[in-house]
Structure 1
């Protein structure tokens, strides 16, 4: 049996997972959807007598679909088409590739997924995350999603403390050759007066939660790896992604009630992996902020020694925790 790994070619955390599996003697077939259709091909068929059968092919290897025991799915690259194709041709071809190759892969049944792309796509929506977290018993901050300035002011007037504005989707965008990150911003009274641009798209606003520190909780299958994140600067205290150099990490324990809620949350979202962010208040209360179904984990393992890559390999191989 084989483990199918689907990730971008240059994703180095995936390199560590593949290395761990290979060291254990597992048969690993790694692919990037960015290789399709020029360096990767597919041939599969189905009929009344049998489910999907066939394989994936590279220049050097073949993977029989019936041999796949587990799939590790982690942010593969976009399809790459010949340069001579026009823009409309590429868009058409990409749609066909997504429905064809993507459809074959997502139709794989009877194997372990970490995690299934359909579940991951749904879990990316922060409104879905917050609703599910609340239903699963986790504490969430009061939250508003809007493109109406008057709704922002009304929300801020109801909140006893400060309000934070955050991106709802990916916090990065590329313009030209410049990559720009959009971080969380704690609004002041002047910001609430000047809300130009709010009506241009949806924005997420949350009540500011006083914090002692934050926690990155990495969940792999039934295992939870908690790491306290302590900010060493004012900027990092507001959004720790702004100043990684000031951060310190400490391995921690997840409170029982929080762990139970997290277990319910991942089951509700259909995930076997998740990177969750919590704020821990001065009184010890854990407040859920978000879950990233494809969140980074390698730097947490490096900083704390938590055995996350080993847990990923166990999950893919079906090793009981």
Structure 2
């Protein structure tokens, strides 16, 4: 029998990664609803009854209607932030935003029988770098020595003992300069002398620099692991040099694969984007895992395989492949 239950893709309008998966599902004839929770209440409405029979009712977008009791799977990508109705300000706006998050967000996180890639609450749990690194080490992945501190003297001591050392932000906060430019803080090498007393203003992450020969992005979709070698970056952070990069598939060693699956299980994740550095001895050093990372910038022969794996998972949530 045909399965006419919907796949819900929770994301904003400008999401090329989600576009690829939606196109693949459409080509297969799978019913898909694109929903941005951030559009509530301007163009999204909610009407759900909760009783002993479980949730029933509908979430409606400007063009589609979702039966919350008949959702096959959810691809939780990059939805816009929850917000208040236009014209509402201050505490009232915060109140409306919180009600949207815990009301609509609560319903979307409790769809009966739906398979999540990933569940939004599991994404949240897996976004903390201290938890990522400690879990990775426990699961058997190699991690560089890492210090999280707000103490200048301790940071300088670590940089002297483990140098060369890099600094990385613990979270990529959106930041706009007074002139309107969007700014990012990238990974950068630091010396003991460059670490100032401003470290005391927030926790900072310092990590021993891996003597790498290349970078690796490993994209995990359930049991499927897609390792991609990234060559050509002239600097420390390859994300600054997309125009100079070359990509090639790379086999995933069995011990790394086993540890990656253990990591996903520890956080109850289906999807993960793992960043590694490969050293001259062939060791894979984990930097971090983004539970909702990007992959659509890869060449077509790589993105196509990841797209199909995600579509398989969403179309056939009960089948493990």
Tell me the TM-score normalized by structure 1.
0.94
Q: Note the 1:132-281 alignment, pairs <5 A.
A: 132-159=135-162, 161-170=163-172, 172-176=174-178, 177-192=180-195, 195-233=196-234, 235=235, 238-281=236-279
Distance 2:255 2:304 in 1: 21
- Alignment partner, residue 79 of structure 1: 82
| C-alpha deviation, 1:12, in angstroms | 1.6
1:46 counterpart = 2:67: no
C-alpha separation in 1, matches of 2:130 and 2:58: 37
What CA distance in whole angstroms lies between the structure 1 residues aligned with 2:174 and 2:284?
A: 27
User: Which residue of structure 1 aligns with residue 114 of structure 2?
Assistant: 111
* Structure 2: runs of 5+ lacking an equivalent: none
Deviation at 1:16, TM superposition (A): 1.1
**Runs (5+) with no aligned partner, structure 1:** none
Decide whether the 8 Å contact of 2:159 with 2:192 is kept in 1. Answer: no
Instruction: Give the aligned length.
Output: 314
Distance change in 2, residues 1:162/1:79 (3 Å): same
1:313 aligns with 2:317: no
Deviations 1:172-215 (A, max 9, x none): 522342210111111135314xx132111111000111001110
TM-score by length of 2: 0.94
Q: Deviations over 1:140-198 (max 9, x none)?
A: 11110011101102212332x31111111116522342210111111135314xx1321
| Whole-angstrom distance in 1 between the partners of 2:148 and 2:44 | 41
Does the 8 Å CA contact 1:166/1:203 hold for their aligned counterparts? yes
- Aligned to 1:307, the other structure's residue is in SS state helix
1:225–1:306 Cα contact (<8 Å) kept: no
SS in structure 2 of the partner of residue 190 of structure 1: helix
The root-mean-square deviation of aligned C-alpha atoms, in Å, is: 1.5
DSSP 3-state at the match of 2:197: coil
